[in-house]
Amino acid sequence: MTTFLAVAAGLGVGIGIWLVIVGLLKREATPRPPSSSRKPFEGLLRLIGLDEGGPLHSKRRTVLVSAAAGLVVGILTGWWSLTVIVPVMVVGLPALFRTTTQSSEVEKLIDLTAWVRSLIGVLSGGAVGLEQGIAATLPSAAPSVRPSLARLVARLEARQPIKPALYRWADEMDDYSSDMIASALILESDNRTGAVAPALKQLAESLSAQARARREIETERATGRATVRWVTVVTLVVLGGTAMTGYLDGYDSPVGQIVAITLFAAYCGCLLWMRRISMGQPIPRFLPHEGGLG
């Protein structure tokens, strides 16, 4: 009975840690179906982050397979803590070793700045309107900004009013810099004073300086992320070596299993903290979403 209670307590601690981590992850906003059309076990799937829009939905098969593998290994070895440890490692290790998207975001900002400069050149002469000027810059736009810009041009050519079209474009770009550009163009679409080119010139200089600063910051943060990866590799090697020497046999007991899963949780928390401080946070947007304009 004591062994059963210890195993149950260890699994409870592990599952509780899993739920805390899932709760901290970002969840996509998806409409919830009516109660009558909900799938079986939807509440449980949502709780563990495997439902549609959940942070682990794209990895649901990996989570289920690794959890089953952990259960089998736990039964064979008596290490019930592996039921939780194995899926956490299978899902978490690729995230720790994955390179960040910050570099691509910096490149996107540089491309966005180049597009603004191109738009300035088209609008400076005053021979074309705002809608025609945006369309004229499409062929020279960089690949990172061209898809959303092409959709913006298509809406304008379909006679959609430029103001909601620009709000929609800002939603698709989904960053602070695009909000700055869209707000300047929206003001010009309201007033039609022709003063947007000087405003865009100042904005382009600001975006260029921001891109340089973010590139320098990203170079420094890359060192921290490399440290996280090396700490993980060294730890795995050390654990593998100690397991072969029998050093971990002291954790075979029920109490040892609870201690093992607690130490594993603390270690994962430290790795997540190290990675979080090396990632940085984007500047929040200020334009409302297109759906909130009505």
What digits encode the pLDDT tens for the residues 225-250?
Answer: 777 778 888 888 887 787 777 777 77
Dihedral-angle region of residue 270 (phi above 0 means left; psi in -120 to 50 means alpha; beta otherwise): alpha
Cβ neighbours of residue 132 closer than 8 Å, sequence gap 6 or more: none
Confidence class of residue 291 from pLDDT cuts 50, 70 and 90? very low
Within 10 angstroms of residue 262's Cβ, the number of other Cβ atoms is 15
- Does the pLDDT at position 210 exceed 70? yes
Provide the CA 282 distance to its chain's centre, in angstroms: 11
Euclidean distance between CA atoms 158 and 164, whole angstroms = 13
> Residue 152, class by beta-carbon neighbours within 10 Å (0-12 exposed, 13-18 middle, 19+ buried)?
buried
**Among the listed residues 82, 79, 22, the one whose alpha carbon sits nearest the alpha carbon of residue 47:** 22
| 31: DSSP letter | P
**pLDDT reported for residue 85:** 81
**Among the listed residues 55, 46, 67, 66, the one whose alpha carbon sits nearest the alpha carbon of residue 24:** 55
The structure's pTM equals 0.61
User: What is the pLDDT averaged over residues 266-276?
Assistant: 77
Percent of the chain with pLDDT over 90: 16
Give residue-wise pLDDT tens across range 79-105: 777 887 888 888 777 766 666 556 678
Give residue-wise pLDDT tens across range 11-24: 565 566 555 555 55
Euclidean distance between CA atoms 225 and 231, whole angstroms = 10
- Does the pLDDT at position 37 exceed 50? no
**pLDDT reported for residue 1:** 46
- Does the pLDDT at position 150 exceed 70? yes
